[in-house]
């Protein structure tokens, strides 16, 4: 085992102890960001508490073991209609496999989805969705039995995608679970975009979980997919990317699996004791774990602390995965514009990285623009210098 040490190289820059002091959980969650400034809004996530006596219970068979609904969306709809100013909603999921999309609208109160199995994989929410689907295929896949109807709480979310006039639905409509609400919590369950290896290694964005709201919390959750597994995002009610603010998310004691850019987005997110597992089975090129698109005025993007990074046997030889790359979202026509377009920010610290990853050049060229990675190793460096990438490591261990 080898420990990464300051200052590293221009291809793999390492923070000093003093520099790393800035990148700890409290710094990430003290403010909520807006364009050019941020408002004080201290968030201190605690362990997720659930109400086992909740009236909303999802089970494989309604009426058995207290199950009131057979699908997660049915339970979400019923809970939102009956909330009657409840401060929060808990939805209990009994062990089973639940096939279907789950949409949670922006105006939902704090909502918790929790599984009652012994392990997170005892409760599985799954569906096969592909960004390359046509709108017609999307409608057939997501709403084949009328799961979404006008007047439903999340109808507007479904309709935004179902009524698209493009040839394909794109990444923004390819999530199995999609929440636009603040204060979403998920505990002890698994979300799978079941497209997996049924497609080739080309672009097939297939999101398991997408979150747009603030104060998102996941605990003992498994997210499984290939390209774009977890979209930790910030958007508006029209399903458009926004650049004037960011949301926050805390992911703890969880597992995330994928191949291309499988943790991506604009939110400020902390991954605490998360296992990231990179797979080669689809034969995809440009394999990266992270692809943050933090705005240049945002000091904090993604933080991975006390995490594990592993890969499958496809990386045992000369082929290696990358830890990540910046996503220069919105700059396809202009190219990267310093201090104007996104410059993704990420720190991986106090973590273990197995031999599946490129140790000489762990960061790839930027998505969208192919901007070459530029690491800053100057002794007087500014960690937010827009002329450089903001992808860093500290105190990691390279496993043999």
Would you kindly state where each structural domain of the chain is located, as residue ranges? 2-53+91-398
The β-bridge relationship of strands 123-127 and 96-99 is parallel
Q: Which helix (H) or strand (E) is 264 found in, with range?
A: strand 263-265
Confidence of residue 313 (pLDDT cuts 50, 70, 90): very high
Nearest to 235 by CA among 214, 252, 249: 214
Confidence of residue 83 (pLDDT cuts 50, 70, 90): confident
Active site residue 228: yes
35 pLDDT higher than 70: no
**Residues of the chain with pLDDT > 70: what percent?**
98
| DSSP code of residue 313 | G
The structure tokens listed for 313 are: 């046997």
Least confident of 53-57, 86-90, 100-104, 172-176: 86-90
**What is the C-alpha separation between 221 and 252, in angstroms, rounded?**
8
Task: Please tell me whether 43 is known to bind a ligand.
Answer: no
pTM of the model: 0.97
Give the relative orientation of helices 135-142 and 155-162 as an angle to the nearest 10 degrees: 150
- For residue 110, the Cα-to-chain-centroid distance in whole angstroms is 19
84 pLDDT higher than 90: no
Q: What is the mean pLDDT of residues 278-296?
A: 97
Neighbouring residues of 64: CB distance < 8 A, sequence distance ≥ 6? none
Of 152, 182, 214, 228, which is the active-site residue?
228
Residue 389: how many CA atoms within 13 Å on its side-chain side?
A: 30
Task: Please tell me whether 392 is known to bind a ligand.
Answer: no
Active site residue 214: no
The SS3 call for residue 119 is: coil
Assign domain 2-53+91-398 to its CATH architecture. Answer: 3 Solenoid (2.160)
The SS3 call for residue 318 is: coil
Of 130, 261, 293, 328, which is the active-site residue?
261
The SS3 call for residue 157 is: helix
Q: What is the mean pLDDT of residues 264-271?
A: 98
**What is the C-alpha separation between 122 and 93, in angstroms, rounded?**
10
The structure tokens listed for 363 are: 């960061």
Where do the H-state alpha helices sit in the chain?
17-20, 25-28, 72-81, 135-142, 155-162
**What is the C-alpha separation between 136 and 117, in angstroms, rounded?**
36
Nearest to 285 by CA among 368, 194, 203, 374: 203
- For residue 256, the Cα-to-chain-centroid distance in whole angstroms is 9
**What is the C-alpha separation between 356 and 2, in angstroms, rounded?**
14
Confidence of residue 346 (pLDDT cuts 50, 70, 90): very high
**What is the C-alpha separation between 358 and 218, in angstroms, rounded?**
29
**What is the C-alpha separation between 210 and 228, in angstroms, rounded?**
10
Report angle CA 310, 298, 227 to the nearest 5 degrees.
35
Length of the chain: 400
Per-residue pLDDT reduced to its tens digit, 182-214: 999 999 999 999 999 999 999 999 999 999 999
Q: What are phi and psi of 94, to 5 degrees?
A: -75, 155
SS (H, E, C) 4-34: CCCCECCCCEECCHHHHCCCCHHHHCCEEEE
**What is the C-alpha separation between 58 and 67, in angstroms, rounded?**
5
Confidence of residue 36 (pLDDT cuts 50, 70, 90): low
Per-residue pLDDT reduced to its tens digit, 94-152: 999 999 999 999 999 999 999 999 999 999 999 999 999 999 999 999 999 999 999 99
The structure tokens listed for 300 are: 């904090």
The β-bridge relationship of strands 268-272 and 248-252 is parallel
Task: Please tell me whether 205 is known to bind a ligand.
Answer: yes
Confidence of residue 40 (pLDDT cuts 50, 70, 90): confident
């Amino acid at each position: 085992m080898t420990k990464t040490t300051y200052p590293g190289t221009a291809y793999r820059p390492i923070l000093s102890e003093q520099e790393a002091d800035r990148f700890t959980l409290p710094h990430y969650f003290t403010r909520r960001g807006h364009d050019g400034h941020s408002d004080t809004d201290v968030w201190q996530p605690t362990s997720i508490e659930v109400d086992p006596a909740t009236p909303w219970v999802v089970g494989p068979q309604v009426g058995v073991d207290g199950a009131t609904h057979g699908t997660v969306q049915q339970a979400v709809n019923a809970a939102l209609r009956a909330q009657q100013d409840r401060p929060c909603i808990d939805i209990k999921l009994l062990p089973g496999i639940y096939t279907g999309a789950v949409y949670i609208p922006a105006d939902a109160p704090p909502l918790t989805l929790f599984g009652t199995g012994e392990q997170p994989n005892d409760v599985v929410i799954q569906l096969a969705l592909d960004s390359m689907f046509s709108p017609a295929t999307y409608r057939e896949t997501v709403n084949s039995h009328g799961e979404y109807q006008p007047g439903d709480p999340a109808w507007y979310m479904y309709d935004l995608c179902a009524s698209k006039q493009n040839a394909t639905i794109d990444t923004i409509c390819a999530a199995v679970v999609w929440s636009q609400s603040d204060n979403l919590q998920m505990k002890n369950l698994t979300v799978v975009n079941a497209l997996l290896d049924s497609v080739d290694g080309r672009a097939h964005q297939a999101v398991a979980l997408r979150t747009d709201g603030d104060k998102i919390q996941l605990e003992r959750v498994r997210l499984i997919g290939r390209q774009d597994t977890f979209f930790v995002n910030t958007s508006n009610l029209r399903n458009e990317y926004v650049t004037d603010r960011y949301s926050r998310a805390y992911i703890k004691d969880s597992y995330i699996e994928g191949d291309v850019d499988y943790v991506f987005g604009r939110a400020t997110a902390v991954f605490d004791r998360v296992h990231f597992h990179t797979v080669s089975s689809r034969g995809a090129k440009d394999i990266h774990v992270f692809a943050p698109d933090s705005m240049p005025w945002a000091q904090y993007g993604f933080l991975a602390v006390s995490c594990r990074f592993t890969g499958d046997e496809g990386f045992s030889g000369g082929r290696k995965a990358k830890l990540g790359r910046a996503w220069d979202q919105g700059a396809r026509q202009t190219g990267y514009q310093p201090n104007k377009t996104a410059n993704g920010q990420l720190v991986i610290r106090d973590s273990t990285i197995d031999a599946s990853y490129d140790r000489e050049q762990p960061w790839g060229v930027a998505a969208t623009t192919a901007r070459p990675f530029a690491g800053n190793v100057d002794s007087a460096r500014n960690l937010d210098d827009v002329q450089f990438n903001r992808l860093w490591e500290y105190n990691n261990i390279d496993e043999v």
